[in-house]
Each structure stands twice: as structure tokens, then as C-alpha cells.
Amino acid sequence: MTLINQLPAVLLCATCLAVFPVAISAADAPTSAPAAVPTVAPPSPAAVVNMINNCFSCHGTDGRSPGAIPSLTGMKAEQALLVLKEFKSGARSGFVMTRLTKGYTDAELEALANYIANNLK
């Protein structure tokens, strides 16, 4: 064990933050969010990863669906959020998504929409 070994450790911490762009955007979001959205704390980056990983069971790993269920790739955050919120409110008709979106807060849907836009290409 030498002191040199401690240097990369600092770099590692920086990369820890870099792999979670969602956290940053989600944390920044309240300023631009509509007033109607309840002020619920946004989920942690790791909690968002947990949530989106569940989505992959139907929508394919990294949102790339191999079959009849739509992929999650190629969406902008606003677009993804609109779809999710419309499923939740019932404004958009759907199948299991109208039932599943009701299980998430608006802040969570926003974090998921940001994740979709930033990470699922």
C-alpha cells in the first residue's frame, strides 16, 4: 500500500457522479416543473436505475424491444414524460401502462423520462 494508490480513488469518485446524469437533471428539474406537480423529493439515481430496470422486462434490455411491445429508445424527455403522464391520468388509452403508471409519483415519472432521454439511445 503506497500513497500513489490513493490518487485514482479521487478520480473514481468523480466518475461515480458522471455515471448518474439523471440525478443531476432530476435534481435540477423542480425549477422548470409545472406548478401543479406535487413537491415530492425526486428519487435517488440508484432508485431510478432500479425502476427502469423493471421496465426492461417488457420493453427489452436498455429499452430495445425485440417484439410487439414498443421500444423506449429515441424519445426526448418531454415526449416521454407526456406519454407517461397521459397514461397515468387516463388521457391516453393504453393497456398495462395505464395501470402501471399509477404506481409512480409525478417526480418519479419525470426522473424516468429523463433517464429514457439521456440513457436509452
Partner 1 sequence: MSQITRRDFLRIAGAASATGMLGTSMARAAEISKGAARVVVVGGGFGGATCAKYLRRLNHGIAVTLVESSAKFITCPFSNLVLGGLRTMDSITHSFDTLKKKHGINVMHDTVTSIDAAGKKVKLKSGKTLSYDRLVVSPGIDFKYDAIEGYSAKAAEVMPHAWKAGPQTVLLQKKLKAMKNGGTFLIVAPPNPFRCPPGPYERASMIAHYFKEHKPKSKIIILDFKDNFSKEGLFKDGWAKLYPGMIEFVPGAKGGKAVVVDVKNMIVDTELAKHKGDVVNVIPPQTAGKIALASGLTDDTGWCPVDPKSFESKLHPGIHVIGDSSIAGALPKSGFAASSEAKMCAAAIVAALKGDTPAENSFVNTCYSLVGPNYGISVAGVYRNTDKGITEVQGAGGVSPKDAPDSFREQEAKFTVGWYQSITSDIWG
Q: Which residues bind partner 1 (CB under 8 A)?
A: 1, 5-6, 8-9, 12-13, 16, 43-44, 46-47, 49-51, 53-61, 65-69, 95-96, 99-104
**Closer to partner 1 by Cβ: residue 54 or 79:** 54
Q: What's the rounded Cα separation, in Å, for the pair 36 and 87?
A: 17
Record the cell numbers describing residue 118, joined without a space: 439521456
Minimum distance, C-beta of residue 10 to partner 1, in the bound complex (Å): 8
Minimum distance, C-beta of residue 82 to partner 1, in the bound complex (Å): 19
**Closer to partner 1 by Cβ: residue 60 or 77:** 60
Q: What's the rounded Cα separation, in Å, for the pair 46 and 51?
A: 9
Minimum distance, C-beta of residue 110 to partner 1, in the bound complex (Å): 15
Q: What is the largest CA-CA distance in the chain?
A: 62
Q: What's the rounded Cα separation, in Å, for the pair 52 and 111?
A: 10
Instruction: Judge whether 111 and 43 are in contact, CB under 8 Å.
Output: yes
**Closer to partner 1 by Cβ: residue 1 or 35:** 1
Minimum distance, C-beta of residue 28 to partner 1, in the bound complex (Å): 20
Residue 69: CB atoms within 10 A of its CB come to 14
**Closer to partner 1 by Cβ: residue 37 or 58:** 58
